[in-house]
Amino acid sequence: MITLGIIGVVAALTLPSVINKFKVKQLETAFKKSSAVLEDTLVAVLSEYSLEYMANKKGALEQLTNVPNEDRAAINELFAEKLKIINVATIRAGACANQFTCNLISKNKLYDYSGNLIGNYQINAFPSAYDHGQSVVDFYLLFDGSAVGQINFQHHGPKDGVKVTIDTNGPFKGPNRYGYDIFDFDSGYYWASCCDNNKSGCPSHVFYGCYNYAKANQNPSDSSKGYWESLYK
């Protein structure tokens, strides 16, 4: 009985760690797949407009070309054509445009990198195709269960780039947490180091840097540690 009790205690102590490692490995695998698909598709689409440089990480002296709105719309149409889309969620004028989107928002929650609740799943986390503040925000649910937003051509200043948000396992599978399964690809360098919202100088709910840290497998707060091994800690 004593031996069985010891085994039970050891199992109770080690099982959560084993489960977390499994979840982290799933998140890492999903990120690698989604990020590869995103970057390959982004470069392919932008190349057709001789804008492939926009998909590359920018230096301090580079500035995004002010792409005309009609070209942005055409680029995003081509972007959508190259993705394996099974459904589209849409926000129009600040409200869900269809029942599917309303259900998605009301039944799912969104969390920041530290695990704090932000609120209901926000489609506006997937930016508009044109710029911040536009009335229409779409994002695509893909055949593999992931989700991706449209290309956002930011041009507020020389630090801006193109931005695309991904949910590597989609809104219906958790944790729906920035830096875990939700990432912002941003080719600019504005707030590029912001991932952990406790970091000095980073605004609340800005996680542009998580994508870069995940790609480099580097902890946002401690460069001596790996990114993925630090999750759920």
pLDDT for residue 30 is more than 70: yes
pLDDT at 142 over 90: yes
Query: CA of 187: how far to CAs of 38, 56, 70, 109, 190, in Å?
Result: 13, 6, 21, 27, 9
| 22 domain residue, yes or no | no
Is residue 12, in this structure, part of any structural domain at all? no
Q: Flag whether 192 is in a domain.
A: no
Alpha carbon of 179 to those of 52, 92, 196, 205: distances in Å? 26, 27, 9, 11
Take residue 49 and report the two structure tokens written for it: 């407009």
Tell me which of 18-32, 130-144, 208-222 is least confident. 130-144
In a domain, 126, yes or no: yes
The Cα-based distances of 185 to 42, 43, 103 in angstroms read 11, 13, 26
Give domain status of residue 7, yes or no: no
d(CA 101, CA 139): 10
Total domains, the chain: 1
Whether 147 and 167 have beta carbons less than 8 Å apart is answered as yes
Strand 136-142 with 85-92, pairing:
antiparallel
User: Strand 147-149 to strand 136-142: parallel, antiparallel, or no bridges (unpaired)?
Assistant: antiparallel
Within 10 A of 1 (CB to CB), how many other CB atoms are there? Answer: 5
Q: What is the band of 130 on the pLDDT scale with cuts at 50, 70, 90?
A: very low
In a domain, 94, yes or no: yes
Containing domain of residue 121, as a range? 30-173
Q: What is the pLDDT of residue 10?
A: 47
Report the pLDDT value the prediction gives residue 14, as an integer from 0 to 100: 62
Confidence of residue 25 (pLDDT cuts 50, 70, 90): very high
